[in-house]
A and B are shown apart, each in its own frame.
Chain A
């Protein structure tokens, strides 16, 4: 049987990697994804919904309407056979099943924080510290391009352990965003090369 290959289809050995970008609402996740993605960040509102009560006007029966919550992802083709995906997490803690799904199989995670509202990223830090095996770093997004807090203060406020790298970045700037992503991958390499097996739990 002759192999028929369409010129458009990529070779089947094409593979993909993923980095998760987490953090609270409005900390700049979409900006970071957008500044490195080769496609406009895909907004997946349509399939991220939650139940909300509604009443059918005709029957008076209670049904479940849907309201949406945004999530986005971007894509970078790194080589003919390698694609990198960046996935932003939904902000609300109620979507934690989604967080597991997003994190599963990821090579690294970046928790983005905004020093003006650090509290919005507590849940994300907590998640990667306690409930996920994916190695993560924390990146302080400098909205005005200036560092208003010393990183040590941020580390204290977030109660980060010494082994979690903390970096500053400008999510709008491609070079800075790329540096943040590579810092996360480098951290994964360090974390997973020293005698640990991927997937084995880090004990606290």
Chain B
């Protein structure tokens, strides 16, 4: 029975832990917090999981909130330019629904599930100094705690990290009491882009107290939406959000005017530089640990890929561990395991990093076309569920033009 230590109890860590446990591995998870503390703690993410990610969870029997959580069927993008005026917008419907289960609900539940299935949990916030001693006790140690100092074990890969500072100031809040959008009453994600200023992203979620609305402000640093340094209380966040909506997206203001914070810890502030790190952390000549998910590939949440990347990386690592059988988990195997994940993740990074900068002209053209061509809107929305598809059109001006030409007959605009 191979012994695996997973440091970190988030989407990637617990998904991998539960997957390996079901295959008979002796899995220990180190979590800095107990399920009760996670439930009662601060929100951690917006965690919109798209269809393919949810499917991975279903296959492992981990979809515990599938019935309760709103089923998000589509994605709407609105370009607000100038601010307060909707220049154009479009809806792309997905083949399979997405869901956003508050990680406070999900990770607390998964930790309890892991323990009840016989997994071992040690409640301990792992420090770098613990690792050499710990890793000697296991066949493989995986670092899946992306928010602490453990990430410093993994060197930044400069060639794959175009930014050295945060590209957005982030501010998130969970609210109850938003109203449906009359023209599209089904649960959907809404992205409102304010060119040069930032984005407002909404998704229906499920938290400790039931269905809720999740709002994320993505503010270009130094711009007018970058106004959260004082870390306002949930009520103050709601009030400031309403004020901003009134001038930047009045159609959103109507939806939220009677909303209330879900709880006392339903806000999150911050921002981080997108980064790709080298996956093998070397503790000594004979001791190495493997980084997973946002420990090694951290993107800005503007494209909603974080928890999906976590699910994908955990799935790739899971398969790689199984394939390895009884052979040692040496640094070469670690590198190959990451490379298999990078095959996919590179496309997420390329797309997300592009969306953080001024949009290339051909992408602006694609978005404007999507407003009157459902085939373009569909493929754009589908790309969020699998960003590797973007390389076949949106990321390349020539391929994009070819695609647009191929679906030009589906345009609803007057010729």
Contact = CB atoms under 8 A, between A and B. Distances in A.
A64 B282 CA distance: 7
B95 interface: no
Contact of A100 (B125, B127, B231, B265): B125
Given A50-B149, A97-B148, A100-B32, A64 B281 contact: yes
Contacts of B150: 51
Interface string B141-154: 00000001110110
B294 interface: no
Contact of A49 (B41, B129, B233, B285): B129
B33 A66 contact: no
A193 interface: no
Interface in B20-62: 32-33, 36-37, 40-42
Nearest to A204: B233
Contacts of A199: 36, 40
Nearest to B265: A201
Would you call the interface of chain A mostly helix, strand, loop, or mixed?
mixed
B128 A204 contact: no
B284 interface: yes
A98 interface: yes
A175 interface: no
Given A199-B40, A204-B233, A47 B124 contact: no
A48 interface: yes
A131 B153 contact: no
A96 B127 CA distance: 11
Interface in A173-204: 199-204
A169 to B, nearest CB: 29
19 contacts: A47-B127, A48-B127, A50-B127, A50-B149, A51-B149, A51-B152, A56-B285, A61-B282, A64-B152, A64-B153, A64-B281, A66-B128, A95-B149, A96-B148, A97-B32, A98-B125, A201-B263, A201-B265, A203-B264
Interface of A: 46-51, 53, 56, 59, 61-64, 66, 94-98, 100-101, 104, 130-131, 133, 199-204
Interface of B: 32-33, 36-37, 40-42, 124-130, 148-150, 152-153, 155, 231, 233-234, 263-265, 281-285
Given A46-B129, A201-B264, 14 more contacts: A47-B130, A49-B128, A50-B128, A50-B149, A51-B128, A51-B152, A64-B153, A64-B281, A95-B149, A97-B125, A98-B125, A199-B36, A199-B40, A203-B264
